[in-house]
Each structure stands twice: as C-alpha cells, then as structure tokens.
Structure 1
Amino acid sequence: MSRALFRSSLPELGSFSAARLRPTAAVLPFSWTTTTTRSFNSTAPIVEPVSSNNAPNPTASQVRPLALKKSHPAAPPSPIADSVKNLLPFLAAQPGHYITVHIHGFPYLVQEGDQIRLPFRMPGVLPGDVLRLNRASVIGSRDYTMKGSPHIDERVFECRATVLGVESEPLRIKIKKKRRQRRKRQAKSKHRYTILRVSELNIKNLEEAAAE
C-alpha cells in the first residue's frame, strides 16, 4: 500500500520540481537591466565647439585655432643700439655694484669687501699682494646689469683683491686596502686654500675707458 502511494505521488513531485527550476520572467532582474540600458543609451555625445573665425592652417593673416598656443605672442625686442654708451653712466652712478669674476676658471659672485676662499693654493703670491681681477662675465647694480660674451672688456671696470693668506685643513689619513690581501697603505692629504678679499670695485665712465 505504501509503495503504491509513493509511485502515485512521483509524477506530481516531478512536475513540481520542474516548475520550481524553470526560470520565469519574475525571477530575472528585469528592472536592473532596463535601468542600465536606459542610462547607457541616454548618454549624449560630446561635441566640441568649433569657431568659424579659426583657420585650420594659421598664417600671418588668419587666426590661429584655439588648440594652438603662441610661444611668442610678440616679437622679441631688438637690442638697444649703443646700449653700453647709453646705459653705462646709469650703471656707474648707482651704488652697491656686484661682479662675477673668474679666477682660474672658477666664477665668484662678490661685492666690495667680500672674501673669496679659493679651493687651491695660488702659486707665486704672498700675503699682502694686490691682484687685479680682469676677467668678469657680469657686472650689475640694483636696476642695471651688463653681461659679457663671454667676458666684459677690462677697460670698463676695475676690480682688485688683496691676498690675506693661506689656510690649510687638518691632515687626513685614509687607509686603502684590497680584498683578499693583507697589506694596506695610507694616503695622506692636507689641502691648502688661498684667501682673498675684494678691496676695490669701480665702474669707469666712457671718458676713462676711452683714455685707456
């Protein structure tokens, strides 16, 4: 009796399980797919504005496109004719001059009264000697600057420096070794420096420069 009841209930269970496993429209995320499709299709294409005044190929008589930028909006100014003759008196009249002097290839930006510590010992000089520094690339004041190409004529300025003395650093000993070798050697070094003081810095006028 129990087997007959179980066999009679098998078709009903089979149809019920098939109905549960069969996908229906209510199970699918219909609202999610619809909203996604609408948001994707509703995006408007981006259209860049095009100006009718812009020329595709800019020339001197046409307007440049908006995407291009002028590196030089105006022509660079032409050099002033006889700039040294016209502006040198103004440079000489202003106080507080500075100069970039070159000593053995090393540039130093100094003013009158500054000290210079050379990274070497200058040969042939003694404390108290006065040296004339005749190589300069820049001379300037608060409002004016004179630049050389590469150096300024030495008749325009006069810069002198006094040798104060020679300084030396403490003796340094460095031990040098090689791998897998028991011997070693010592390298001793004691650098010396020359100290200068800029004692005079004058900018000459045109009459003084022409007299020389």
Structure 2
Amino acid sequence: MSRALLHPLLQLKAPVVSRLASALALSVVQQRAFNTSAPIIEPVPKQQPQPQPQKHKPKRKAAIPPAVVHQQPPKQRHEKNAANPTDSQVRPLAFKKSHPARPPRPVENSVEKLLPLLVAQPGHYITVHIHGFPYLVQEGDQVRLPFRIPGVLPGDVLRLDRASVIGSRDYTMKGAPHIDPELFQCRATVLGTESEPLRIKLKTKRRQRKVKRVKSKHRYTILRISELRVQKSGKATGHHIESVAKETTAPQRPAA
C-alpha cells in the first residue's frame, strides 16, 4: 500500500487507543474506591534460638534427716468401758481385743439353795441336744436318731454334754442357753443301726415316655440312755432352778 493510504489509517487508530486507555483507568479507579480497607499483613514469626544441650552434672545426695518419732498421747478410756487386760502384752495387733470377755456373773441364790434338793430327788429327766435336735429322755430310754452316726459300732458309749434342761419331780434347772457339762453326767450306748423299708419312687417328665425308678433306704442309729446323774458341785453360772413343788393338804372331813 502507498504511504498516502497508511497515514489516514494510523490517524483513525489513535483516538480508539486513547479511548480504551481512559476506560481501563476508570475501571481501576472504581475498583480501588470499593476496596478502602487497609491490607492485613501477618507478622512473620521469629525463630527462637534452640538451646544447646547441657552436660548433666551429678547431683549431690541430700543428707537424710533422722526419723522423727511422734509420741501419741495415751488413749483415754471411757468410765463405762472395761479395761483391756491384754493391752500391755506384746502380741500381733490382730489378736488383741478392744473389749475382753464379760466377767462371770455371780451364782444365783436359787442355784446354791435348790441344787442339793434337785440332786436328792430321784427320777431325773434331761433335754439333750444331738446335732441340734432336742430329746427329752430319762435313764433307760431308747432314742432313734433321724440320721446315721458314722464311725460308731454297737456297744460304744457316747458322752452327751449338751443339755438345756435338767429336772426332777419338783425342781427344774434351765441353762442360758446350755447347762455346764460339769453339772451332769449323761452317757448313751450305741445299740446298732436300723434301716427303713425300701422305698421306690417313679419320676417322669412332661411329654416324655421315660420313667425313672429312684430307690431309697435310709439308716438310723439307735441309742439307749445308760447313765444320767446330776453333780452336786460345778459351774452354775447363768443357770436358774425353779421349784414346782406344791403344798398339798389332806381334804378335811366335815365334823359329824
């Protein structure tokens, strides 16, 4: 193309470029007008210097102070509490008792006065306890126990030392809960063992045809009271003797 044609074309492009530049400048100004807040700049954390490893020096052991013994004040005992007789003895703590056993009660006047009268009367009876079962017996009675005593043979003599009541026709001595064994002598002789008839029981379950036959045949020991004697002396602590004697008078006949 000739220079004559290019020159007017360049003149036409110049105003267009100027217009575009002014438009871009206005848009940048408008954007800056909306964003008026100050920019937030986060501070950069400073790196702290790392401590250099120190050499461990051996520590000196501190002197251990001597043990301090605290003396406890003596325990004050209540006026109603009994003194502990084992407090001064050197024993394990588990075996010491804070409250000792109660002192024995004094013998009642009824025992001192009526015990000789009970001994003098014949026909004594006694309530002995064998494995927790009480039996009211006299001398010569035969007792069938509801169980079998293992390790005994016919002719063996057993000492029965557990009794709650001893009495005669007019007097009765009761224990609390049992009478001291030194106050009486009660012996029983083993006669043998007795067995009951064979019992058969049929056991069935619901909706089943099977029938189970259970057989049982218990054995019992037979004893005879061979000796019953009441002692005149012994520990009668906590016992009580009651008199059941009644004064009887002959009926008076009317005067004729």
Q: Which TM-score band (shorter chain)?
A: 0.5 to 0.7
Paired position in structure 1 for 2:120: 93
Q: Deviations over 1:71-123 (max 9, x none)?
A: xxxxxxxxx93321211100000000000000011100000000000010011
1: distance between equivalents of 2:114 and 2:152?
Answer: 37
How far, CA to CA, are the matches of 1:140 and 1:81 in structure 2?
Answer: 17
**Could you list the per-position Cα deviations for residues 122-179 of structure 1 after superposition, in whole angstroms to 9, with x for gaps in the alignment?**
1111100000100000000000000011100000000000000000012111110112
Runs of 4+ in 1 over 3 A off after TM superposition: none
Provide the aligned length of Structure 1 versus Structure 2.
Answer: 129
| Equivalent residue number for residue 210 of structure 2 | 183
Determine the C-alpha separation between the residues in 2 that align with 1:166 and 1:98.
25
Instruction: Kindly indicate whether residue 143 of structure 2 is the aligned counterpart of residue 143 of structure 1.
Output: no
Q: Deviations over 1:35-59 (max 9, x none)?
A: xxxxxxxxxxxxxxxxxxxxxxxxx
Following the alignment from structure 1 to structure 2, what is the Cα–Cα distance between the partners of residues 84 and 154?
Answer: 15
Unaligned runs of 5+ in 2: 1-106, 236-256
Find 2:195's aligned residue among 143, 162, 168.
Answer: 168
Letter in 1 for 2:183: V
User: What is the alpha-carbon distance in structure 2 between the residues aligned to residue 136 and residue 102 of structure 1?
Assistant: 6
- The SS at the match of 2:182 is coil
Amino acid at match of 1:106: F
Gaps of 5+ in 1: 1-79
Query: What's the CA shift for 1:198?
Result: 0.2
- Whether 1:128 and 2:155 are equivalent positions in the alignment is yes
One-letter amino acid matched to 1:88: L
User: What residue identity is the alignment partner of 1:144?
Assistant: Y
Within 5 Å, which residues of 2 pair with 1:35-54? Answer: none
Match of 1:197 in 2: 224
SS at match of 1:162: strand
Q: CA deviation at 1:184?
A: 1.5
Distance 1:196 1:91 in 2: 26
For 1:103 and 1:123, locate their aligned partners in 2 and report how far apart those are by CA, in whole Å: 14
Task: Tell me the residue number matched to 1:109.
Answer: 136
1:82 paired with 2:99, answer no
